[in-house]
Chains A and B, each alone.
Chain A
């Protein structure tokens, strides 16, 4: 038991600080992905509820692709695809240099693609919950389409979409584990290194799992707070 405590302590003897760095990378990646995924998802939802069929179809194709591909494959497609693409471009331009794509950015792009296709469905069902009268009221007040969306529809939309988006955030947090495969030093990878060096795999992967659980618990606690905040204007029923 004491040995295990030494192993996970901070400092030279233990792996606590390495694991902490991994946790930091995991959280940073998830947080960095979130705004891109949310924005892209919102615009996809707008496209899906457009009155023009070609727009709807274009958005639906996007969703079909990124919801159907395994996240791991999307990650590889982005990581190697972008790398090879840039390499070809550089060769085409006549330079001879080796370019490596940052695994953090590749992970962020891949996760944002997947996240946005799920988020668009969450936003779309939230859009369906907002009656047409809300838009008409906005136009009657002389607000432009953009202002109506921003001042009237969006605040209500967030409230409706929050539960689904909260779930997606928890899924995103778990999916960040995949970037360890392309060499980003996240929680799983640091735990893996520690496990290999100390020959205590169960201890370190167990700790990694518990940290993910802890992150999920903190997130759901935070989500409850956010949900309560979003409903502060609602009358008690």
Chain B
């Protein structure tokens, strides 16, 4: 009879083999080094300019422009969200007379450039000046600010309607039936069962839509709105100093990246029950 006198002493896991300096790795390090150098140059350039006359003169303007950009984005997103509900309903309706116009609306606003739509509304309204004055709407279309909000609202409502329709259609009919079988009322089913599931699907496209709007709002600067881009162009045309555009790029990148991070956090929270 033999007995185990001594078991094998525990040993740590073998060390990972050192990663070879493959061509990819070298290229990756070179590229990263270039990014780091470029980033360091940028930071140095901006830091050395922070007390320059340009920044002294225009930083207030930039902040004002940034606020205007945020106003444009959030006002048109809000109005667009409200408008997107009837459009999405019409788009999913069984009545052809409702469905086709909604389809045409969405197709038009998603198929043409935002710039052309803005021009169509801002300059195009001039063609109907007499008629618009008659119905007392000329004050609305004369103002670049209202025109921009109007154009962006129409544009984003078409996109949001598609997001909404896709999200609600994604939730299966069985969810409605299950709710009804439990004796829940229609609003309770919608808000407690359908909406949370639809939101999970819609959250990502909604986030993308906000980012698209922040980027698209730069177009407002072309029709004399002094948003962040408008202030940038004005500062550049006055000073002919290229840092005007670099500051704007920094502002936009920070805004978009912050939003993207928040959105990732939000999505992780909404889908936390799906995590394994």
Per the bound structure, the CA–CA distance linking A206 and B115 in Å amounts to 12
Q: Are B249 and A77 in contact (CB under 8 A)?
A: yes
Cβ < 8 Å to B, chain A residues 105-159: none
Q: Are B219 and A72 in contact (CB under 8 A)?
A: yes
Per the bound structure, the CA–CA distance linking A177 and B121 in Å amounts to 16
Q: Are B229 and A202 in contact (CB under 8 A)?
A: no
Cβ < 8 Å to B, chain A residues 59-110: 61, 64-65, 67-73, 76-77, 80-81, 84
Cβ < 8 Å to B, chain A residues 195-219: 195, 199-203, 205-206, 208-209, 212-213, 216-217
Report A-chain residues with C-beta under 8 Å of the C-beta of B35.
58, 61
Stretch at the interface among A6-14, A34-42, A47-55, A222-230: A47-55
Q: Are A52 and B28 in contact (CB under 8 A)?
A: yes
For the residues of B in contact with A, the DSSP-based class is: helix
Q: Are B115 and A180 in contact (CB under 8 A)?
A: yes
Report B-chain residues with C-beta under 8 Å of the C-beta of A195.
123
Q: Are A68 and B117 in contact (CB under 8 A)?
A: no
One of A51, A70, A200, A212 near B116 (C-beta < 8 A): A212
Per the bound structure, the CA–CA distance linking A180 and B116 in Å amounts to 10
A168 within 8 A of B: no
Known A-B contacts A58-B32, A71-B215, A80-B245; the reply to A202 vs B24 at CB < 8 A is no
Q: Are A69 and B126 in contact (CB under 8 A)?
A: no
- Within the complex, the shortest CB–CB distance from B228 to chain A, in Å, comes to 9
Interface hub of B29, B35, B232, B245 (most chain A Cβ within 10 A)? B245
Report A-chain residues with C-beta under 8 Å of the C-beta of B117.
209
Q: Are B120 and A70 in contact (CB under 8 A)?
A: no
A57 within 8 A of B: yes
Stretch at the interface among B157-165, B251-259, B264-272: B251-259
B108 within 8 A of A: yes
Q: Are A205 and B249 in contact (CB under 8 A)?
A: no
A188 within 8 A of B: yes
Report B-chain residues with C-beta under 8 Å of the C-beta of A200.
127
Known A-B contacts A84-B242, A209-B116; the reply to A54 vs B229 at CB < 8 A is no
Q: Are A69 and B111 in contact (CB under 8 A)?
A: no
- Within the complex, the shortest CB–CB distance from A72 to chain B, in Å, comes to 4
Q: Are A70 and B252 in contact (CB under 8 A)?
A: yes
Report B-chain residues with C-beta under 8 Å of the C-beta of A54.
25, 28-29, 31-32
Known A-B contacts A188-B115, A205-B116, A213-B107; the reply to A68 vs B32 at CB < 8 A is no
Task: Give 12 CB contacts A-B under 8 Å.
Answer: A52-B19, A67-B256, A69-B249, A69-B253, A70-B229, A77-B249, A174-B112, A200-B127, A205-B119, A208-B119, A209-B112, A213-B112
Q: Which residues of B contact A (CB under 8 A)?
A: 19, 22, 24-25, 27-29, 31-32, 34-35, 107-108, 111-117, 119-120, 123-128, 211, 214-219, 221-222, 229, 232-233, 236, 242, 245-246, 248-249, 252-253, 256-257, 260
Q: Could you list 20 further interchain pairs (A-B, Cβ under 8 angstroms) beyond the known A70-B229, A70-B252, A73-B232?
A: A54-B32, A58-B28, A61-B35, A65-B253, A69-B215, A69-B252, A70-B218, A72-B222, A76-B236, A77-B245, A81-B242, A174-B111, A181-B222, A188-B115, A191-B116, A201-B123, A205-B116, A206-B120, A212-B113, A213-B111
